[in-house]
Amino acid sequence: MDLTAGLSSEHLHAMNKIKKVSRIAALCAFLTVSFAAQADDIQDANKLFKQGLHAQAMEKVNTVLAGKPKDAQARFLKGLIQTEQGNTNEAIATFTGLTEDYPELPEPYNNLAVIYAGQGQYEKAKVALEMAIRTHPTYATAHENLGDIYAKMASQAYDRALQLEKSNTGTQTKLALIRELFGDNPKSARTGKTTVVAAAEPAVIVPPAAAVKKPEPAVTTKPEAAVADPAAEVVKAIQAWAAAWSAKDSKKYLSFYAKEFKTPDGLSRSAWETQRKQRIAAPKSIKVEVRDTKVKLVDATHATISFRQSYRASHLNSQSSKLLDMVKTDGQWQIAAEHSGK
């Protein structure tokens, strides 16, 4: 299936430029030891994927996930297969689920950025890459990809400026430099489909565009150990909440609010959710950051977190202090109450 169907030449080139991370071996370091049969199935699926036998590879992956649905390695490979098959929405759902269950892994965020860039959704790609860098500050691929996204966004802005003022030679020069950097021409943008080939290590999958990049060092920390600290769990929940807000994903954003959440101004829950959806949809872009987090654990299922919140949107920039009451329900920390200016 052609992954490029319906995409403009600019979007196709963006999909080529940004590096897809397909390093199954690097993810293995984060995983609990699997049963031998499951390991064999993953290895077989990996080989089939590299051979371009995507349907057969998916069957193997689904066999593993049937017995171990949270297996990060199998889910990551499933996302790669879905991407290659052109099932973009399914791939987004797979990688998004990995960011929720394993927020310390940068690779799923990076691959989400690849898909968003291919769709021309550069703001979403930028947010995803910033999350990848936040989880892994030394992740060189994400830093380079973020630079490429900034360049593409600058190209769009310069192009718009020229439409408004065609005689601006300074803007013409800047736009020409960016186009030269990206090689934006019909020949190089002819196809956005990347063929995946095997690298030196049998379990490593690297696209040609990223083949010259050295793989990131494997980290031996397991996901279970990374989230063992309840305070750290609360912070990660708030970071994910801010990321969903920044991505303008109102459904995911609202999922961070507990059933017992105290709505402001006496609004009903449905009226408050409608209001929040409208406010999230209104700006062209939103960027929410939290810093200086402080967590106080009340008991095993209740906590408070205070932090400084930075909110930047196309119509408003603001800084504020926040205090949130948190409750743990079904293993997930959610917001029970919000207090501003504390």
DSSP one-letter string for 183-199: T-STTTTS--PPPPEE-
Beta bridge partners of 320: 309
- Pair 41, 108 in one domain: yes
Lowest mean pLDDT among 44-48, 119-123, 141-145, 191-195: 191-195
Please report which helix (H) or strand (E) contains residue 323, including its range.
Answer: strand 317-329
- Pair 189, 303 in one domain: no
Tokens standing for 238?
């708030």
Question: pLDDT > 70: what percent of the chain?
Answer: 68
Residue 192 pLDDT more than 50? no
The whole-number average pLDDT for the span 21-39 is 49
Tell me if 2 is assigned to some domain. no
CATH number for the domain including 331?
3.10.450.50
Crossing angle (nearest 10°) for helices 106-118 and 122-135: 170
Amino acid at 154: A
**Separation of alpha carbons 14 and 232, rounded Å:** 35
Tell me if 22 is assigned to some domain. yes
- Pair 33, 164 in one domain: yes
According to the model, what pLDDT value does residue 290 have? 92
Helix/strand/coil (H, E, C) string of 250-279?
HHHHHCCECCCCCCHHHCCHHHHHHHHHHH
The whole-number average pLDDT for the span 204-224 is 38
Residue 32 pLDDT more than 50? no
Please report which helix (H) or strand (E) contains residue 231, including its range.
Answer: helix 230-246
CATH number for the domain including 124?
1.25.40.10
What pLDDT band is residue 303 in, cutting at 50, 70 and 90?
very high
Which residues span the domain enclosing 288?
Answer: 229-340
- Burial (0-12, 13-18, 19+ Cβ within 10 Å), 208: exposed
Tell me if 185 is assigned to some domain. yes
What pLDDT band is residue 49 in, cutting at 50, 70 and 90?
confident
- Pair 211, 248 in one domain: no
Tell me if 259 is assigned to some domain. yes
The whole-number average pLDDT for the span 213-237 is 59
CA 154, distance to chain mean position in Å, is 21
- Pair 315, 255 in one domain: yes
According to the model, what pLDDT value does residue 207 have? 34
- The domain boundary, picked from 170, 188, 223, lies at 223
**Separation of alpha carbons 23 and 21, rounded Å:** 6
- Pair 65, 48 in one domain: yes
According to the model, what pLDDT value does residue 305 have? 93
- The domain boundary, picked from 163, 193, 223, lies at 223
Tell me if 1 is assigned to some domain. no
According to the model, what pLDDT value does residue 7 have? 46
According to the model, what pLDDT value does residue 238 have? 94
**Separation of alpha carbons 16 and 43, rounded Å:** 27
According to the model, what pLDDT value does residue 9 have? 53
pLDDT in tens, 124-178: 988 988 998 888 888 788 888 888 887 777 767 666 776 777 676 766 676 566 5
pLDDT in tens, 72-84: 888 988 989 998 8
Tell me if 302 is assigned to some domain. yes
Query: Which residues have C-beta within 8 Å of that of residue 33, sequence separation ≥ 6?
Result: none
Is residue 271 a contact partner of residue 252, using CB atoms and an 8 Å limit? no
Residue 246 pLDDT more than 80? yes
According to the model, what pLDDT value does residue 262 have? 87
Helices (H) and strands (E) in the chain, counts: 14, 6
- Pair 13, 148 in one domain: yes
- How do strand 332-340 and strand 317-329 relate by DSSP bridges? antiparallel
- Pair 275, 300 in one domain: yes
Residue 311 pLDDT more than 80? yes
pLDDT in tens, 258-276: 999 988 877 899 988 999 9
Residue 119 pLDDT more than 60? yes
- Pair 241, 219 in one domain: no
- Pair 53, 154 in one domain: yes
The whole-number average pLDDT for the span 37-65 is 84
Residue 242 pLDDT more than 90? yes
What pLDDT band is residue 102 in, cutting at 50, 70 and 90?
confident
DSSP type of residue 119:
T
According to the model, what pLDDT value does residue 166 have? 67
Tell me if 4 is assigned to some domain. no
Tell me if 37 is assigned to some domain. yes
- Pair 103, 175 in one domain: yes
The total number of structural domains in the chain stands at 2
Tokens standing for 133?
């860098």
- The domain boundary, picked from 223, 248, 274, lies at 223
pLDDT in tens, 1-27: 343 444 455 555 555 556 665 544 445
How confident is the prediction for the chain on average, in pLDDT?
74
Residue 221: count of CB within 10 angstroms of its CB:
10
**Cα-based torsion angle of the residue sequence 153, 104, 140, 50 in order, rounded to the nearest 10 degrees:** -90
- Pair 257, 210 in one domain: no
How far is the CA of 328 from the CAs of 70, 153, 243, 250, 298, in angstroms? 20, 39, 20, 21, 11
Residue 256 pLDDT more than 90? yes
What pLDDT band is residue 37 in, cutting at 50, 70 and 90?
low
- Closest-CA residue to 287 (of 319, 255, 334): 319
Residue 246: count of CB within 10 angstroms of its CB:
24
Most confident of 20-29, 78-87, 187-196, 206-215: 78-87
Tokens standing for 280?
């999230």
